[in-house]
């Protein structure tokens, strides 16, 4: 027998956690269900033998989003064809190009064969399958509509991936230019300006303040480069430590939404994700308070997630979805109107999908506007750098040339 750590939910909705010995994860899952506990995760405790086996395995690279999308489409097709979940996953595990994905699918096969349900098995890999993914599959499993569940989650992941690609495409050019400017400034301060400085010293001439400033900055770079490198590494390290804390992440996500030019883009991306996710969980038949709790976990912005949790608290007190949405001050009047109609007619999922489409169109429009707005800023930055170099380096050379000729 092995020792397992488990978490679950009892009939009253309270979380249960503990450790217990059992012959397998499936046996423990069945044991918990007979006690009225819904298992959420079951993990075998690490032993020296297990650690040695895991370290000996050659694992692949990180699983990408398009691999999860492909897996979801494949499962939808196989479920629609009437193939059992175990046979479907076993077949997909043998054909994976990424060894890490194959390792996970083989693990899912083992858990399913031991009697564990599909959603609980997926929940054991939270870095690969999100809480939303597990919840949608759980409902599809219970209603006998796994093919529809996989289709819905695949569509959602495709929209997320498309949005991510649009953002990367819009920011690629500005980031390239900013990086080139940074590299050029480092080269100028470490290699170019010290050469001119030696020339100025030979003439022993009085230099303008612009040149003195450039030489001072260059000397600092040359003599204290290690300090700048240490400061950069420290900033990255402590920044990550700060963002790892809930309060730090909350403040950073709040600042991102207020950043000029890009803040409104971040906000609309998150709100579009809210509407799309709400549409999925609403169509799946989840209670509103449970849906809002899931949405808060997948938004990707702690500041707006806190507002969603406030909406959930309001719904649990008996307040309407429309009123809680209005009180959160997150949504535009058009979206609030859609929520109102959806709440009255019971067509919340369809209307929220339309609202998500509106947000996607706004994101596309603003991404194009961002590129147009950043280009003049970059041109001004490059022009300013050239102007400083001209005033600080070339003007003294011209003066020295005039002195030499006279």
Shared domain for 52 and 191, answered yes or no, is: no
In a domain, 365, yes or no: yes
Q: Has residue 99 been placed in a domain?
A: no
Instruction: Tell me, yes or no, whether 382 and 251 share the same domain.
Output: yes
How long a stretch of residues is the chain? 406
Looking at the fold, whether 182 and 321 belong to one and the same domain comes out as: yes
CB neighbour list of residue 250: distance below 8 Å, 6 or more residues apart: 302, 303, 306
SS (H, E, C) 128-181: CCCHHHHHHHHHHHHHCCHHHHHHHHHHHHHHHHHHHHHHHHHHHHHHHHHHHH
Residue 399 confidence (pLDDT):
63
Q: For residue 24, what pLDDT is reported?
A: 61
- Is the pLDDT at 1 greater than 60? The verdict is no
Return the percentage of the chain with pLDDT > 90, whole number.
Answer: 9
Domain limit, last residue, from 11, 38, 56: 56
Given a cut of 50, is residue 51 above it in pLDDT? no
pLDDT on residue 235:
93
On average, the pLDDT of the chain sits at 82
pLDDT at 50: 44
Q: What is the pTM of this model?
A: 0.68
Separation CA 90–CA 93 (nearest Å): 5
Go through 68-92 and write b for each residue having 16 or more CB atoms within 10 A of its CB, e for each that does not.
Answer: bbbbbbbbbebbeeeeebeebbbeb
pLDDT at 251: 92
DSSP 46: P
**Mean pLDDT along residues 91-113:** 87
Helix (H) or strand (E) run with residue 40 in it: strand 38-44
Residue 248 has pLDDT above 50, yes or no: yes
- Specify the pLDDT at position 400: 62
Q: Residue 170: inside a domain, yes or no?
A: yes
Is 333 within the bounds of a domain? yes
Q: Which residue has the tokens 């020792």?
A: 3
Q: Does the pLDDT of residue 53 top 50, yes or no? A: no
Question: How many other CB atoms are found less than 10 A from the CB of residue 267?
Answer: 21
Q: Is the residue at 141 inside a domain? A: no
- Please give the residue range of the domain that contains residue 26: 1-56
The pLDDT assigned to 365 comes to: 85
pLDDT in tens, 346-361: 788 888 888 888 888 8
What is the per-residue pLDDT for 46? 53
Provide the pLDDT for residue 197.
80
Mean pLDDT across 146-174? 85
Q: Max CA-CA distance within the chain? A: 102
Residue 71 has pLDDT above 50, yes or no: yes
Same domain, 194 and 333: yes
Q: What is the pLDDT of residues 186-195, one digit of tens each?
A: 888 888 888 8
In a domain, residue 101? The reply is: no
In a domain, 51, yes or no: yes
Q: How much is the pLDDT for 115?
A: 82
Q: Tell me: the pLDDT tens digits for 189-241? A: 888 888 878 877 776 667 777 788 888 888 888 888 899 899 999 999 999 99
pLDDT tens, residue by residue, 106-136? 889 888 888 888 888 888 888 888 888 888 8
Task: Please check the confidence at residue 58 and state whether its pLDDT lies above 70.
Answer: no
Total tally of structural domains belonging to the chain: 2
Boundary of a domain, candidates 9, 38, 56: 56
Same domain, 242 and 386: yes
2-16, 359-373, 391-405: the lowest-pLDDT one: 391-405
- pLDDT tens for 283-327 read 777 788 888 888 888 888 899 999 999 998 998 898 888 899 899
Question: By mean pLDDT, which of 23-37, 259-273, 381-395 is the weakest?
Answer: 23-37
Residues contacting 155, CB < 8 A, separation 6+: none
d(CA 51, CA 38): 28
pLDDT band of 57, cuts 50, 70, 90: very low
CB-based contact 174:374 (threshold 8 Å): yes
Asked if pLDDT for residue 48 goes beyond 70, the answer is no
What value does the mean pLDDT take over residues 355-374?
Answer: 82
- In this prediction, residue 22 carries a pLDDT of 72
Instruction: Look at residue 258 and tell me whether its pLDDT is greater than 80.
Output: yes
The domain boundary, picked from 35, 56, 77, lies at: 56
Q: What is the pLDDT of residue 65?
A: 86
* Better-scored residue on pLDDT, 17 or 202: 17
Name the pLDDT band for 252 (thresholds 50, 70, 90). very high
Tell me if 126 is assigned to some domain: no
């Amino acid at each position: 027998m092995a020792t397992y750590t488990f978490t679950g939910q009892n009939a009253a909705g309270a979380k249960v956690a503990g450790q217990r010995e059992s012959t397998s994860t499936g046996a423990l899952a069945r044991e918990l269900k007979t006690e009225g506990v819904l298992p959420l995760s079951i993990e075998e405790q690490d032993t020296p033998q297990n650690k040695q086996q895991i370290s000996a395995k050659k694992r692949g690279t990180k699983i990408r989003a398009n691999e999860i999308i492909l897996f979801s489409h494949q499962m939808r097709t196989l479920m629609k064809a009437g193939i059992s979940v175990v046979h479907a996953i076993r077949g997909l595990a043998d054909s994976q190009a990424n060894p890490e994905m194959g390792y996970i699918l083989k693990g899912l096969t083992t858990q399913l064969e031991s009697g564990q349900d599909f959603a609980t098995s997926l929940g054991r890999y939270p870095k690969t399958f999100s809480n939303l993914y597990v919840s949608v599959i759980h409902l599809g499993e219970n209603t006998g509509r796994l093919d529809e569940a996989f289709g819905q989650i695949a569509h959602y992941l495709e929209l997320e991936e498309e949005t991510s690609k649009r953002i990367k495409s819009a920011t690629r050019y500005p980031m390239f230019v900013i990086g080139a400017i940074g590299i050029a400034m480092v080269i100028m301060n470490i290699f170019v300006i010290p050469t001119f400085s030696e020339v100025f010293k030979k003439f022993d001439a009085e230099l303008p303040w612009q040149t003195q400033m450039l030489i001072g900055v260059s000397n600092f770079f040359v003599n204290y480069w290690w300090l700048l490198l240490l400061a950069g590494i420290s900033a990255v390290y402590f920044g990550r430590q700060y963002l790892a804390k809930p309060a730090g992440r909350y403040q950073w996500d709040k600042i991102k939404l207020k950043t000029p030019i890009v803040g409104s883009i971040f906000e609309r991306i998150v709100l579009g994700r809210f509407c799309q996710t709400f549409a999925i969980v609403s169509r799946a038949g989840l209670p509103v308070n449970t849906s809002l709790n899931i949405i808060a976990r997948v938004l990707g912005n702690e500041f707006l997630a806190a507002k969603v949790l406030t909406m959930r608290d309001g719904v649990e007190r008996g307040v309407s979805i429309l009123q809680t949405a209005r009180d959160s001050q997150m949504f535009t009047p058009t979206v609030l109107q859609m929520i109102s109609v959806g709440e009255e007619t019971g067509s919340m999922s369809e209307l929220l999908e339309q609202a998500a489409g509106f947000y996607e169109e706004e994101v596309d429009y603003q991404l194009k506007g961002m590129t147009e707005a950043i280009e003049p800023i970059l041109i001004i930055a490059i022009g300013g750098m050239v102007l400083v170099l001209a005033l600080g380096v070339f003007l003294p050379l011209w003066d020295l040339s005039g002195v030499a000729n006279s």
